[in-house]
A and B are shown apart, each in its own frame.
Chain A
Amino acid sequence: MTERRPVAEFVAEATEIVEGLSRELLGLDERRGEEPDPERLNAIFRAAHSLKGLASLFGHDRIARLAHVLEDALDALRLGKVAADDALIDAFIDGVDVLSGLLAMASRGETDGPAAERALALAQHIETLVAPAPEKPPALHELGVDKAVLNVLTEYEEHRLRENVKKGVALYMVRAVFSLEDFDQKLTALNAALKPLAEVVSTLPSAQASDEARIAFDLLVACRQPAADLEAVIRPFGATHALLSASVAPRPSAPVPVPVTAGPTAEVSLKSLSQTVRVDIARLDRLMAAVGDLLLTRTNIKRFAEGARAAGGGLHPMWAQELSREARALERKLDDLQKGILEVRMVPLGQVFDRLARLVRRLLRESGKEIDFEISGGDVELDKLIVEELSDPLMHLLRNAIDHGIEAPDKRASKGKPRRGRIRLRAANSGNHVVIEVGDDGAGMDDDRIRDEAVSRGLLTTKKAADLQRTDLLNLVFLPGFSTRRQVSELSGRGVGLDVVKTNLGRLSGLIDIVSERGQGTTFVLTLPLTLAIIRALVVQSAGRTYAVPMSSVLEIVAVRPSELRTVEHRQMLSVRGQTVPFVRLSQLFKLPETPVDLHYVVLVGLAQHRLGIAVDHLLGQQDVVTKPLSARLRDVPGLAGATDLGDRRAVLVLDVPALVSEIVRPQASP
């Protein structure tokens, strides 16, 4: 192939194939030692096969070569010529990694890189793993299967047939006649119904057409259950069966009664079976920005309508009423539109979890520790942009858990713990947020070591370090430059600290907490918003300036007299239903002039288990806002998440609640 076809198109389809490959391999990986599910093996084989064809067609020879080697090995595996041992499965998993690397190179137009070298080495390695000594399989004629049927079996189908015969499973020919209009759905349903008791080896559309509106199929079925069970399953489909098993075999070519299925003949659809589209997230951003602008227009119209009704004078009362009604209708439709776009942006966390699982399993093998890795909550959905940004922080936490969290097997045994450690990655919805936990049942964090390290790095005085509570002490690990690592290990020695994890999460308006018990293990708890694209905000005013507080973190609003505030260790505190909550005036936070008041309006915000009361001068109402990035001048001001426009063409600052919570609720270390 001399000419290069468009790269983006190739990369998109190839990536989809590799992701599918990876998903199926993961299933194989989880069930090591068991006999692999033939359907899964075949799916993996098909993915490698398609990738090879695609890559060679587009002239990506390196990808084609590796896919070819994988295909051959998988072919040998599914045809039962080699066993699914650990070395082979590991090699397949590495193969997915390398393929991802090669695809990344291809998308950047690079021709050289580490992935290219790995590809070559891996291909050779896999070839040595698959021994080339195929024995000649015995002929299949004596099975009683019609030669005409045998002739249309692919090599793989023939192998499946032979496997079933070897196991003594009875063979049947099931004949079903369906309308040309919906036979695909009917066959899919029949296949699904057969799955629990039988394997469909081949689906042969019958050449003898009964009439133009119908089509007959002969299914070669290996059924593990009695014939009566098969009969019960296929009867609702109007299908009949004949036993083929060699000893009893009536010839399948004997005429089988053809039941007539009802159903009108309709226009045959030429539509593609695929019902999905791929969309660049930037396009969704543009749509969302347009919705944001519309929301502002809506607010203005509403204001105008209310004004018109109240003022009475200028506008006819009927028009004012009409305008209000239309404004309300517009509001409802815009809500639907906004919700729709948000739904489109949502993707399951499973996308990133699958990738992490692959890496973790490799790290586990390299670490030499005995660790079980559990994943749950892959179906929890989050904004695509957030999901993409999560893989690095999560990987870092998982590396930490493998490398520093879980103790060596002997050490665990000496402490009376099971030799096998456990690492969990789980996600769950929690109101407006998603909570992701990375936990291990390892040694837990060592207070003394954290204290020593903080003091030796000059982050804290000895006195202050001694006074710190355990939770505050644990949070020191998020300070830049903090590390208790005595030696850089191969796994975590990437020079990225937990401070980077925290900063990255902060950028996503997320929060990270640590729960750690000595000897019991450590869990990092990440609290993240569902989306950053559009938020409902409480609009407040302080010292004459307007701010927006994301409603997702607002718990309630309380009115407090200054006399009700208490001071504990130089911090103002407020009591809300018996709970003591840190209190701060917004004007004080941003160093604005403060005026004495008779009553504070306190916006009580909360994230995870943290609470903070922020006092403001006025509450102006709620509004949906699209957050825009801050100008360079304001970017480094702590406590601000972005700017927005409320429709009166004045920029309003959006508070960064997670940043404020960590700033104020948790005392920062100072020398």
Chain B
Amino acid sequence: MPETLKVLVVEDSKATRELLASALQALAGLEVVTVVSGFEALKVLPRHRFALIITDINMPDINGLELINFVKKNPHYKDTPLFVVTTEGRTQDRERGLQLGASEYVIKPFEPPALVELVKKHLKL
């Protein structure tokens, strides 16, 4: 029995969150944990060992960049791959995300199969 890999999805739009979750859940051996804000992400991070984090940039409490900075500088999480989900046009925010250590960026609207391919690549599934 292979180990279940946990993916954290941080996204404040319910519909986008559910779409992300359903796309990822289609992958065997993945467990998806979804939260609606950066604050919630900070709360769940210590409770699980995540194999991947996918975060939105534009969120009401702390922004996605602040979350990436927190994850990438924290000795416990710094090796966890992290994807940024952004809308097209916000190039500065996207570049900063990559500078801070995000592995990939996904532009909304995204095609679920393409996202799934990226996830497979990073998790070596």
Interface set of A (CB-CB < 8 Å, partner B): 1, 5, 9-10, 13, 46, 49-50, 52-54, 56-59, 64, 72, 148, 151-155, 157, 180, 183-184, 187, 202-209, 212, 215, 268-270, 272-274
Contact = CB atoms under 8 A, between A and B. Distances in A.
B39 interface: yes
> Closest 9 A-B residue pairs measured CB to CB?
A207-B73, A56-B109, A184-B39, A205-B70, A152-B65, A152-B69, A53-B108, A155-B92, A57-B109
Contacts of A58: 15
Interface of B: 12-16, 19, 33, 35-40, 42-44, 46-47, 57-58, 60-63, 65-70, 72-76, 87, 89-90, 92-93, 96, 99-100, 108-111
A53 B16 CA distance: 8
B53 to A, nearest CB: 14
Contacts of A59: 109
Contacts of A57: 15-16, 19, 108-110
A180 B46 contact: yes
Contacts of B35: 270
Contacts of A209: 74-76
A152 B76 contact: no
Contacts of A203: 61-62, 66
Given A56-B108, A151-B100, A152-B100, A207 B13 contact: no
A273 B44 CA distance: 13
Contact of A53 (B44, B46, B109, B111): B109
A155 B87 contact: no
B65 A153 contact: yes
A46 B58 contact: yes
A205 B68 CA distance: 10
B37 A54 contact: no
Given A155-B92, A180-B43, 5 more contacts: A53-B87, A64-B109, A203-B66, A268-B43, A270-B33
A272 B35 CA distance: 7
A5 B15 contact: yes
A13 B14 contact: yes
Contacts of B68: 152
Nearest to A155: B92
Contacts of A272: 36
10 contacts: A13-B13, A50-B58, A53-B16, A53-B87, A72-B89, A153-B96, A202-B63, A204-B66, A268-B43, A272-B36
B66 A202 contact: yes
A151 B69 contact: yes
Contacts of A206: 70
B62 A54 contact: no
Contacts of A49: 58, 87
Interface centre among B12, B66, B87, B96 (most CB of A within 10 A): B66
Nearest to B89: A72
Nearest to B67: A205
